[in-house]
Structure 1
Amino acid sequence: MASFSDMTDLDLDRQISSLSRELAALKKAAAKRGGAYYEEGRQAAQDAYSDLAGRIGEHLPALRSHARAIEGTARRHPATTAAIGLAVVGLLAATLLSRR
């Protein structure tokens, strides 16, 4: 007849083997879920990018036209452009420094 310590060792071996199989199954399930979440996130990002590109694409000619008009105004009035630029930089600096 087997001794008590031999039976305990056999029990522990079985439990360890069972736990190892369960751990492997959990790892496989987690990998599947992670892959699915990654794919869903990638698809959502791709959809958002396509939507944004569509919206911007529709308005791009108007944006270019406005940019050319602003550029022309800036070339005709360089002192005013410089003053506005300095004011914007000052406002940004004040905003950033006030948050500290």
Structure 2
Amino acid sequence: MAAKPYQARIAAYCQAQGIDIPAGFYRHAASRYAAVNYSCTPPKLLAVTWFKLEDARYYLNKFSDGRVLRIFDFKDGCHLIFEHNIDGNLLSANDFNAV
């Protein structure tokens, strides 16, 4: 990955993929993990990001409400599919090109 701030990487990826970016995303510095809601059209970035995967898992387990979500790791360039169940499992998925 290029040495580019996470906020810029995430925004560039979302723009290239047609993912809506909420205004709240720009209010704070972004961390390496970002989530996208694929239950709506077009898909929408969640405004909150996380430094630790455990924090992302906790947040999504509490607030996902059955939505189809993917967590993108903008440090390692991979994404994880979140499966909402009792354990809040994260299933490994493919690498992606984070612009």
Higher relative contact order (CA 8 A, sep 6+): 2
Q: Give the TM-score band, short-chain normalised.
A: under 0.3
From the two aligned structures, give the one with the greater helix fraction: 1
The TM-score with structure 1 as length reference comes to 0.19
